[in-house]
Amino acid sequence: MNSRRRLIYYLLINVFVSALVAGSIIYYYDRNHHVNCPTVLVTAATGSPGTSSINASLVGVIGAGTLKDERIIVQNNGSQELDLAGWYLTDSKGNTYTFPQLTLFPGVIVQLHTIAGQDSPSDLYWGRSSPAWTSGELVALYDSQNIARAFYRVP
């Protein structure tokens, strides 16, 4: 009887330690390799009548919660050039980024990095000192006339 108790005790410890190690490995992998595994969820809004050629989408948020890796990708899915001047991204926490003068050609993407850096035609930098996006948060893209053009829920 005593040996059975000891066996059950060791099995329970083994299960606990295995779960702890597996959880630690998954957490470490998610925090350090999340950039290589973007989740894509696109919901595009076409806007008001007469502006159906404007088709922008939020392709995804990469590295949410990790300042150095965090960025959001905006794509022009339309057939015409898209002037992003005055467009802005916002979320439920009040974080807002307003795009500078930038033309996005059809099929082209621009990445908005949360950290500070030097803007280029394909990479924009917000200059924040803390991450902007969290899991479950809804991000919205509005044009210069405050019309919602795209939404993305951060996984």
Measured CA to CA, the distance from residue 72 to residue 155 in angstroms comes to 12
SS3 142: strand
- Number of domains forming the structure of the chain: 2
> Strand runs (DSSP E) across the chain, as ranges?
43-44, 56-62, 71-76, 82-83, 88-91, 96-98, 103-104, 109-113, 123-125, 138-142, 148-153
Q: How many other C-beta atoms are found inside a 10 Å radius of the C-beta of residue 125?
A: 17
What are the two backbone dihedrals, phi and then psi, of residue 8, each rounded to the nearest 5 degrees?
-60, -40
The pTM assigned to this predicted structure is 0.67
User: Measuring CA to CA, which residue among 142, 98, 100 is closest to residue 119?
Assistant: 100
User: Alpha helix locations (H) across 89-133?
Assistant: none
pLDDT of res. 40: 38
Measured CA to CA, the distance from residue 80 to residue 53 in angstroms comes to 7
Q: Are residues 103 and 126 in the same domain?
A: yes
Q: Are residues 101 and 140 in the same domain?
A: yes
Domain coverage including residue 30: 2-36
Q: Are residues 63 and 99 in the same domain?
A: yes
pLDDT of res. 68: 93
Q: What is the pLDDT along the chain (155 residues), one digit of tens a residue?
A: 678 888 888 888 888 888 888 877 777 666 665 444 333 333 344 444 444 568 899 999 999 999 999 999 999 998 999 999 999 999 988 999 999 999 999 999 999 999 999 999 999 999 999 999 998 999 999 999 999 999 999 98
pLDDT of res. 147: 93
Q: Are residues 66 and 15 in the same domain?
A: no
Q: Are residues 27 and 65 in the same domain?
A: no
pLDDT of res. 23: 79
Q: Are residues 19 and 89 in the same domain?
A: no
Q: Are residues 21 and 73 in the same domain?
A: no
User: Measuring CA to CA, which residue among 106, 47, 99 is closest to residue 76?
Assistant: 106
